[in-house]
Amino acid sequence: MNLDLLIENLTNPALLFFILGVLAVYLKSDLEIPYNSSKFISLYLLFSIGFKGGQELVHEHITAEVWWSILFGLFISALIPVYSFFILKRRLNIHDSGALAAAYGSVSAVTFVTAASYLETQQMTLHGHMVAIMALMESPAIIAGLLLISLYAKEETPGVSKKEVILHSFTNGSVLLILGSLVIGLLASDKQAEGIKPFTNDIFKGFLAIFLLDMGITSGKNLKSFFSFGWFPFLFAIIIPLVNGCFFSWVSVLVTHDPSSRFIFGILAASASYIAVPAAMKIAAPKSNPGLLLPMALAVTFPMNITVGMPIYWQIVQMTG
């Protein structure tokens, strides 16, 4: 079944459009996405992810376990970027370290969907609040990444106080949009949400495909820098997510005994964002290199999780339940 999941996800149109973008660069094609259109698509993806997360929270019966799970998800998302940043900073510049730390603290929606399919093969059910937690985990990681970039890129922020840096991290357009959209989704009624559902849901995959095409073009132009770092990006993109997934699958028993939720926590901790974080960093940290971030998240971490990671995380949950 893991092979079926791998084939299904490697033939996903969004992923193939990313590859098309890389190929376009190497074929010296003039294919490109206009900057204003690219920025709009980035903002749209952040808006849609946030709004849908808010809607999921509306329909969830909130219990003490759900609240603890939400806090645990936020804790994971804020913690992983911190130690990831200091590991990455040993070999990479501040901007790339911050962007990658945010990506690995954040989550991959496609990996999440694949994990839901894996649960079905185990005759388990995905709980609705875990979808909301996935959306909530985007913002702390982005904030942590931007905060670390701002604090350590001293040459670009002379005389700027820590208070100003923290305030900017929360009011950054990307962060504000995803958090604001989540709150609006939480406040909107089913009838009101239904009115914009064609925009928030139905066209999401189409815009995602175009976004990844643009990211593929950008990555193709910067791919030489990915290989220039030797084995370090490959090792980080395999070892750190695997450690995160195993550890948080295990300690999640502190907040919930439900095996499906614990497995999802492992997946959320192990996955790397190649949608929300690249969209945010494209706007907020333009000096970071998507040619490093996207290949690590898409070409290394993603297939590792759906082939090797998921069975390991599930086994850990079974042994420690």
DSSP secondary structure of 175-227: HHHHHHHHHHHHHS-HHHHHHHHIIIIITHHHHHHHHHHHHHHHHHHHHHHHH
- CB neighbourhood size of 116 (10 A): 17
Q: Is the dihedral of CA 74, 134, 293, 47 positive or negative?
A: negative
Contact by Cβ (8 Å): 24, 220: yes
CA dihedral for 269, 45, 95, 238, sign (positive or negative): positive
DSSP-derived 3-state class of residue 15: helix
pLDDT of residue 204: 85
DSSP label at residue 231:
T
C-alpha span between 162 and 190 (Å, rounded) = 41
**SS3 labels along 52-110:** HHHHHHHCCCCCHHHHHHHHHHHHHHHHHHHHHHHHHCCCCCHHHHHHHHHHHHCCCHH
Is residue 317's pLDDT more than 90? yes
CB within 8 A of 57, min separation 6: which ones? Answer: 129, 132, 182, 185, 186
Which pLDDT band holds residue 78 (cuts at 50, 70, 90)?
very high
> Any idea which architecture 2-8+35-319 has in CATH?
Up-down Bundle (1.20)
**φ, ψ at 34 (rounded to 5°):** -55, 145
pLDDT at 45: 85
Residue range 215-222: mean pLDDT, rounded: 78
| pLDDT(99) > 60 | yes
For residues 86 and 186, give the distance between their C-alpha atoms in angstroms, rounded to a whole number.
35
Listed by start position, the domains of the chain span 2-8+35-319
Mean pLDDT of the region 192-220? 85
**pLDDT > 70 in the chain, percent:** 90
For the residues 261-288, what does the mean pLDDT come to? 87
At a CB cut-off of 8 Å and minimum separation 6, what does 235 contact? none
